[in-house]
Amino acid sequence: MARPVGCDVKVLGRVVAEATLVAGTSAALALAVNSVRSDGLPLVARTAYEVLVPCPEPGGEVTPVEAGELNLTSGRTFLIDARASDEHGTAHLPGAINVPYDWLEPLPEPELRALARSIAASRATRVVVYGDGERPDSGEHLGREISGRGIKNVEFVRGGAPALRLGDRR
């Protein structure tokens, strides 16, 4: 014999009512316990949540230098052009080595170590890096990577190659 459909609805309604009663009682008990605890969880944030957290800057400290203040007559300056190879090939400061740098794909660790060793072996008293002058500037970020390897007196040219007016130096 088939059971009437109304009977199943009554059972289902009773199960839902009991589940609601258990959930409501549990929530009320949890709120009561939380309110009497000295280290209870706040129900409303006391301060606004910080949604966008800035990423930490990798590497070390670099000093910005204006293109007009750049003294390149010192033989103890290690120059690095952080622009793409084709841009370096078009125009660059005399003696600058090319280390193409993209802040989205930093230098592989072995290349960065080799560059730091070259700088240290040169006995340079300062390192000047110039990049594309964009934001973010490839020269500034490469300078931070180098500085993070323990190389001291690292500077980057603010405004990069455009500020140096390399096209005028051909």
Q: Is residue 37 part of a domain?
A: no
Non-local (6+) Cβ contacts of 65 within 8 A are 128, 155, 156, 157, 158
Range of the domain at 131: 63-169
Are 166 and 93 spatial neighbours (Cβ–Cβ below 8 Å)? Answer: yes
pLDDT tens per residue, range 107-136:
888 998 899 899 989 989 999 999 998 888
Taking the C-alpha atoms of residue 166 and residue 92, their distance in angstroms, rounded to an integer, is 6
Q: Is residue 103 part of a domain?
A: yes
Q: Strand 154-158 vs strand 97-98: parallel, antiparallel, or unpaired?
A: unpaired
The structure's pTM equals 0.64
Q: Is residue 31 part of a domain?
A: no
Q: Is residue 52 part of a domain?
A: no
Taking the C-alpha atoms of residue 103 and residue 113, their distance in angstroms, rounded to an integer, is 17
Q: Strand 126-130 vs strand 77-81: parallel, antiparallel, or unpaired?
A: parallel
| Entry field: residues in the chain | 170
Amino acid at 21: L
What are 22's two structure tokens? 């258990």
Q: Is residue 35 part of a domain?
A: no
pLDDT tens per residue, range 9-46:
788 889 999 999 999 999 999 999 988 988 888 888 77
Are 143 and 63 spatial neighbours (Cβ–Cβ below 8 Å)? Answer: no
pLDDT category of residue 8 using cuts at 50, 70 and 90: confident
Q: Is residue 159 part of a domain?
A: yes
Structural domains of the chain, count: 1
Q: Is residue 68 part of a domain?
A: yes
Average pLDDT over residues 62-87: 87
Predicted local confidence at residue 40, as pLDDT: 82
Taking the C-alpha atoms of residue 151 and residue 135, their distance in angstroms, rounded to an integer, is 24
Q: Does an H or E element contain 154, and which?
A: strand 154-158
Convert 15-48 to b/e letters by CB count within 10 Å (16 or more is b): eeeeeeeeeeeeeeeeeeeeeeeeeeeeeeeeee
Q: What percent of the chain has pLDDT above 70? A: 87
Sign (positive or negative) of CA dihedral 112, 113, 118, 121: positive
What CATH number is associated with residue 108?
Answer: 3.40.250.10
Q: Is residue 36 part of a domain?
A: no
Taking the C-alpha atoms of residue 21 and residue 13, their distance in angstroms, rounded to an integer, is 12
